[in-house]
């Protein structure tokens, strides 16, 4: 229901601004070369503006969208919408400038300068565009691989600056936005709703929860080389709303880089008195958790994610994880209700298995089935460990261990490339897409 409502709202907004473009003479202006360029530029600008607001809303942590799509899918849609809106914004700038230059390519540089310095709001729009250029460039996969997560996250916040600086230009020079009462109401409402969503869900709610629950570190325990578990306690944690399998976005005060947030999954089912996260050292933020002191206060956003009991619709479940992706699955194995034989956990690890003692207890006490997959991956096209016989395919091994895999709810967590291979084999095994609940890590 939420997905249909969100998709319908986006498409109706795009159709509405296109209708206003047509009714404002957009098609008629196509008869002339210069006027036609400007007219198409206006349309691309309108569509880019709608998509720009949509991408901000997608990552505003709106609970209804998080529950309907899941963070992974929202991030993918956000990425697609973001690149599309940016490309259309570039086309808008080029076409409008070209049109104002009477269709002359040679006059474009001079006309761009004249528009920038003489038209109201254009200097702010240029600054906003440069902010968005920086965000887009650092979001390209090749650039992201060269950046630390913390640096990328900080640069990505400039998207808010870019969106904010674009508003004066649109209101002062965009006649398609303010030439009628209906258009003015539409755009001011769209901007207001977007700003309110960010202020409420990204600022207000995290601050309120942080003050109400007063989460503080009680201890840090090494789990394996480069992996630690952080234990926290606080006030009235039963009302935090966190569920086994979900993740929260964390900031730990009093340490270097505390302003930059990191998403970490719960590795133990919440009991109303304490929380536990398990973190692998892959960046500055996660590495610093190894030396965080007891008593350190935590600022949290969330909880988020679809790896929770609310996604479950079948009696039997299968949990498939790799590396530190085992953390949310371990909490699910503890928090889900099941009888012996109804839950099975497949976990791949290269050297040191996580939570071996705890999983052994769950197996003995609750009948959780365990299928360890030790060793490095046996190849780039396989999600299994190297110990599996090379003549046995991943799909054959999966169906051998879990013959009724297509009749279960399946929860998967691990690196993106690894998880894609798991998802492909689950589909080949006949698992309906609606019974696959997947989250990946890495950025």
* Predicted confidence band of residue 362 (pLDDT cuts 50, 70, 90): very high
Do 299 and 326 touch, CB atoms closer than 8 A?
no
Residue 63 falls in which region: left (phi positive, over 0), alpha (psi -120 to 50) or beta: alpha
- Pair 291, 373 in one domain: no
Overall average pLDDT of the 382-395 stretch: 81
Do 412 and 422 touch, CB atoms closer than 8 A?
yes
pLDDT (tens digit per residue) in 184-212:
888 888 888 988 998 898 888 888 888 89
In degrees and rounded to multiples of 5, residue 405 shows phi and psi of: -55, -35
- Pair 102, 219 in one domain: no
Cα torsion 240, 245, 246, 247: sign: positive
Q: Which residue has the higher pLDDT, 197 or 379?
A: 197
pLDDT (tens digit per residue) in 431-440:
999 899 988 8
SS3 (DSSP) at 395: helix
pLDDT for the residue numbered 83: 84
> How distant, in Å, are the alpha carbons of 138, 261, 264 from that of 148?
11, 13, 17
pLDDT (tens digit per residue) in 63-88:
888 777 777 778 788 888 888 888 88
Q: Which of 285, 304, 323 is the last residue of a domain?
A: 304
Q: Which residue has the higher pLDDT, 427 or 181?
A: 427
pLDDT for the residue numbered 78: 80
- Pair 142, 230 in one domain: no
pLDDT (tens digit per residue) in 257-316:
677 778 899 999 999 899 999 988 765 555 667 778 899 999 888 788 888 888 899 999
User: How many Å apart are CA 268 and CA 271, to the nearest integer?
Assistant: 9
Overall average pLDDT of the 316-329 stretch: 91
pLDDT for the residue numbered 121: 63
- Count of domains for the chain: 3
User: How many Å apart are CA 1 and CA 32, to the nearest integer?
Assistant: 45
Query: Residue 388 sits in a domain of what CATH number?
Result: 3.40.50.80
pLDDT at 30 over 60: yes
Overall average pLDDT of the 251-258 stretch: 76
pLDDT for the residue numbered 72: 73
pLDDT at 141 over 70: no
Q: What percent of the chain has pLDDT over 90?
A: 26
Cα torsion 112, 115, 117, 122: sign: negative
- Pair 286, 183 in one domain: no
* Predicted confidence band of residue 41 (pLDDT cuts 50, 70, 90): confident
Structure tokens at 346: 């497949």
* Predicted confidence band of residue 129 (pLDDT cuts 50, 70, 90): low
Q: Which of 183, 208, 233 is the last residue of a domain?
A: 208
pLDDT for the residue numbered 92: 82
* Predicted confidence band of residue 253 (pLDDT cuts 50, 70, 90): confident
Question: In the 3-class helix/strand/coil scheme, how is 98-112 assigned residue by residue?
Answer: HHHCCCCHHHHHHHH
Q: Which of 108-122, 140-154, 178-192 has the highest mean pLDDT?
A: 178-192
Residue 437: burial class (beta carbons within 10 Å; 0-12, 13-18, 19+)? buried
- Pair 99, 200 in one domain: yes
Length of the chain: 443
Q: Which of 227-236, 303-312, 387-396 has the highest mean pLDDT?
A: 227-236
pTM: 0.76
Domain region containing 241: 214-304
- Pair 297, 319 in one domain: no
* Predicted confidence band of residue 169 (pLDDT cuts 50, 70, 90): low
- Pair 393, 249 in one domain: no
pLDDT at 16 over 60: yes
- Pair 337, 429 in one domain: yes
Overall average pLDDT of the 50-57 stretch: 88
> How distant, in Å, are the alpha carbons of 153, 256, 261, 282, 368 from that of 288?
17, 8, 13, 10, 34
- Pair 295, 396 in one domain: no
pLDDT for the residue numbered 148: 61
- Pair 126, 229 in one domain: no
Do 248 and 234 touch, CB atoms closer than 8 A?
no
Q: Which of 304, 336, 369 is the last residue of a domain?
A: 304
Q: Which of 97-101, 158-162, 226-230 has the lowest mean pLDDT?
A: 158-162
Query: Residue 245 sits in a domain of what CATH number?
Result: 2.40.30.10
Query: Residue 31 sits in a domain of what CATH number?
Result: 1.20.120
HSE toward the beta carbon, residue 80, CA cutoff 13 A: 5
Report the mean per-residue pLDDT for the chain. Answer: 83
- Pair 178, 273 in one domain: no
SS3 (DSSP) at 220: strand
In degrees and rounded to multiples of 5, residue 271 shows phi and psi of: -115, 10
- Pair 174, 146 in one domain: yes
Q: Which residue has the higher pLDDT, 391 or 121?
A: 391
User: How many Å apart are CA 165 and CA 152, to the nearest integer?
Assistant: 21
In degrees and rounded to multiples of 5, residue 356 shows phi and psi of: -60, -45
Overall average pLDDT of the 374-398 stretch: 82
In DSSP terms, which residues pair with 55 in a beta bridge?
none
SS3 (DSSP) at 391: coil
pLDDT at 42 over 80: yes
């Amino acid at each position: 229901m939420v997905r249909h409502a969100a998709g319908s709202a986006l498409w109706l907004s795009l159709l509405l601004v296109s209708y206003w473009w047509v009714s404002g003479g957009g098609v008629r202006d196509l008869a002339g070369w210069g006027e036609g360029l400007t007219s198409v530029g206006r349309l691309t600008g309108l569509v880019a503006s709608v998509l720009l607001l949509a991408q901000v809303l997608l990552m505003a942590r709106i609970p209804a969208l998080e529950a309907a799509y899941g963070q992974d899918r929202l991030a993918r849609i956000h990425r697609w919408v973001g690149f599309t809106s940016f490309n259309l914004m570039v086309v808008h700038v080029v076409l409008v400038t070209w049109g104002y230059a009477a269709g002359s390519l040679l006059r474009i540089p001079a006309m761009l300068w004249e528009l920038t310095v003489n038209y109201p709001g254009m200097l702010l729009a240029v600054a906003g565009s440069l902010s968005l250029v920086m965000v887009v460039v650092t979001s390209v996969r090749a650039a992201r691989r060269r950046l630390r997560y913390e640096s990328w996250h900080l640069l990505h916040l400039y998207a808010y600056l870019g969106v904010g600086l674009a508003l004066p230009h649109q209101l002062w020079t965009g006649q398609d936005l303010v030439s009628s009462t209906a258009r003015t109401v539409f755009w001011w409402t769209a901007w207001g709703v977007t700003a309110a969503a960010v202020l409420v869900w990204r600022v207000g709610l995290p601050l309120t929860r942080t003050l109400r629950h007063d989460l503080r570190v009680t201890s840090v325990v090494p789990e394996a080389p480069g992996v630690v578990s952080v234990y926290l306690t606080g006030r009235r944690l039963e009302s935090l709303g966190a569920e086994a399998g979900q993740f929260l976005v964390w900031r730990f005060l009093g340490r270097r880089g505390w302003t930059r947030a990191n998403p970490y999954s719960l590795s133990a089912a919440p009991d109303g008195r304490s929380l536990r996260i398990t973190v692998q050292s892959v960046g500055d933020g996660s590495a610093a958790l190894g030396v965080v002191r007891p008593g350190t206060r935590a600022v949290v956003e969330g909880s988020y994610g679809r790896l929770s009991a609310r996604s479950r619709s079948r009696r039997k479940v299968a949990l498939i994880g790799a590396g530190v992706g085992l953390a949310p699955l371990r909490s699910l194995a503890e928090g889900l209700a099941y009888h012996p034989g109804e839950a099975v956990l497949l976990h791949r690890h290269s050297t040191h298995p996580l939570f071996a003692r705890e999983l052994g207890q769950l197996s003995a006490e609750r009948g959780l089935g365990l299928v360890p997959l030790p060793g490095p991956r046996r190849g780039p096209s396989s999600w299994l460990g190297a110990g599996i016989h090379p003549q046995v395919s991943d799909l054959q091994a999966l169906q051998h261990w879990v013959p009724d895999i297509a009749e279960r709810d399946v929860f998967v967590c691990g690196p993106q490339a690894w998880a894609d291979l798991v998802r492909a084999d689950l589909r080949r095994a006949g698992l309906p897409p609606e019974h696959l609940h997947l989250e990946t890590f890495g950025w």
